[in-house]
Amino acid sequence: FQPWNDPAAKPLVEFRGVTRRFGAVTAVGDLSLSLYPREFFALLGPSGCGKTTLMRMLAGFERPDAGEILLDGVDITAVPPHLRPVNMMFQSYALFPHLNVADNVAYGLKREGLPRVEIARRVEEMLALVKLEGLGRRRPDQLSGGQRQRVALARALAKKPKLLLLDEPMAALDRKLREATQFELMDLQSELGMTFMVVTHDQDEAMTMADRMAVMDHGKLVQIGPPDVIYEAPANRHVAEFVGDINLFEGRVAAIEGDLVKVETSFAGTIELDEEAPALGVGEPVLVGLRPEKIDLGHDEPIGVANKVAGEIWDIGYLGDFTMIQVMIGGEDGQLLKVALANRTRRIARPFAWEDKVWLSWDIEAGLVLRP
Ligand code: ATP
């Protein structure tokens, strides 16, 4: 399932050069993006980067100052929200407190003027879909947070929109419930064959659910791609730092030998990296990015490795699935690195302690070159 790689695939949604300003603030600037049928798309980025504005324009609650929005090839820029086959589920859920669950779910269908029998049937179907059978007569204040979230979802799905927009759909749920709900949402989306666009602050959530995700910054899309590509090959420093943890080394390109790039750094010596067709010049200032889980840690100096540096342990944080260790390299005023060690057995062992002198090493395929 990779329609974005298929030149013949027709997008469901196209943003073409869309801009939205609020006074002096350009919330979204000349942005182009295509979403494909059945795609689960996640929008990620720091607070205020324009995620909600982009989504509200697609729902029709916000008019672009410039550009067009197409749905199935038809320009919908001027179409009012209720005439778009698009629905939006809000972070607050926006349930009607005085209506019971069934009436909340039925609300949009009644406005559409569907026959009563059909509405009742659809409400039952939706409540079954989100596993709330039998709770139709409860009021929202008689439900748990997770159940309220499902009612909002059922209501948003009731009109069977082609496209469902979800703004922070799990913000009100605790962690366990969030994780369970993520998988349910993915199942639901593939079962219904709909396109989902979700805005979230939670990058783990985005990576778990999305076929593709986009990282935004200051009203622009910085990178679009499948989660593993965004994580392993971030386009720039903003993406690398926004998605996951990363160590960054400042340096200069010292040599390029085919695919092998050597970068001279202040605190980690010469770092060797495997960069396919590096578009770099010798002497160019670059950053080397290195994810914490790609570093090996040991007490003895490793032999026959491309990259190694000595350091001292400053901090150890046990996190259950892995342990995050902070190591200072280059002395007191050097650079603090994060190393993530997976806890692969049940043994309670403490191979490393505070102030231990250690060696860090990593493969030539572990690091990546970023422009500063
Ligand atoms: P968050 O993650 O905090 O929800 P966001 O990425 O969704 O942020 P937006 O809500 O789209 O960001 O806001 C983008 C920018 O536009 C911000 O600078 C915001 O202050 C501004 N903005 C959004 N809506 C309005 C409005 N109605 N009036 C004035 N400025 C607005």
What are 244's two structure tokens?
A: 């996951």
50 in ligand 1 pocket by Cβ < 6 Å?
yes
Tell me 330's DSSP state.
S
Q: Whose CA is nearest to atom 15 of ligand 1?
A: 27
Q: Whose CA is nearest to atom 28 of ligand 1?
A: 22
Q: Which CATH number fits domain 245-370: 2.40.50.140, 3.40.50.2300, 3.30.499.10, 2.60.40.790?
A: 2.40.50.140
The 10 Å CB-count burial string (b at 16+, else e) for 124-139 is eebbebbebeebbeee
Q: Is the C-alpha dihedral spanning 172, 176, 181, 183 positive or negative?
A: positive
pLDDT, tens digit, for every residue of 291-305? Answer: 999 999 999 999 999
Look at residue 301 in the predicted model and tell me its pLDDT.
Answer: 97
Question: How many angstroms separate the CA atoms of 200 and 220, rounded?
Answer: 16
pLDDT at 349 over 90: no
Element (H, E) at 327: strand 322-329
Look at residue 279 in the predicted model and tell me its pLDDT.
Answer: 85
Please give the number of the atom of ligand 1 that sits closest to the Cα of 219: 14
pLDDT band at 179 (very low <50, low <70, confident <90, very high): confident
pLDDT, tens digit, for every residue of 81-92? Answer: 988 989 888 877
Question: How many angstroms separate the CA atoms of 340 and 221, rounded?
Answer: 30
Look at residue 147 in the predicted model and tell me its pLDDT.
Answer: 87
Strand locations in the chain, DSSP E?
13-22, 25-35, 40-44, 66-71, 74-75, 86-89, 163-167, 195-199, 212-217, 220-225, 247-257, 260-265, 270-274, 285-290, 296-298, 307-318, 322-329, 335-342, 357-362, 368-370
pTM: predicted TM-score of the whole model, two decimal places: 0.88
22 CB neighbour count, 10 Å cutoff:
10
Give me the numbers of helices (H) and strands (E) for the chain, helices first please.
Answer: 8, 20
Question: How many angstroms separate the CA atoms of 197 and 245, rounded?
Answer: 25
For β-strands 285-290 and 270-274, DSSP reports them as: unpaired
Of the candidates 55, 63, 124, the one whose C-alpha atom is nearest the C-alpha of residue 91 is 55
Higher pLDDT residue, 110 or 40? 40
Question: How many angstroms separate the CA atoms of 314 and 35, rounded?
Answer: 46
The mean pLDDT of the chain is 92
pLDDT band at 23 (very low <50, low <70, confident <90, very high): very high
**Which amino acid, residue 108?**
G
Mutate to test the pocket of ligand 1, among 52, 58, 216 (most ligand atoms within 8 A of CB): 52
214 in ligand 1 pocket by Cβ < 6 Å?
no
- Give the relative orientation of helices 175-192 and 145-158 as an angle to the nearest 10 degrees: 20
Q: What angle do CA 7, 11, 16 make, to 5 degrees?
A: 100
pLDDT band at 119 (very low <50, low <70, confident <90, very high): very high
Residue 230 backbone phi and psi in degrees, to 5: -60, -40
pLDDT, tens digit, for every residue of 26-35? Answer: 999 999 999 9
Could you tell me where in the chain the CATH 2.40.50.140 domains are found? 245-370
289 in ligand 1 pocket by Cβ < 6 Å?
no
Question: How many angstroms separate the CA atoms of 288 and 282, rounded?
Answer: 15
Per-residue pLDDT, averaged over 220-244, amounts to: 94
How far does Cα 308 stand from its chain's mean position?
Answer: 32
56 in ligand 1 pocket by Cβ < 6 Å?
no
20 in ligand 1 pocket by Cβ < 6 Å?
no
pLDDT band at 112 (very low <50, low <70, confident <90, very high): confident
Please give the number of the atom of ligand 1 that sits closest to the Cα of 201: 2
52 in ligand 1 pocket by Cβ < 6 Å?
yes
Of the candidates 189, 180, 134, the one whose C-alpha atom is nearest the C-alpha of residue 160 is 189
Could you tell me where in the chain the CATH 3.40.50.300 domains are found? 3-241
Domain 3-241 has CATH 3.40.50.300: yes
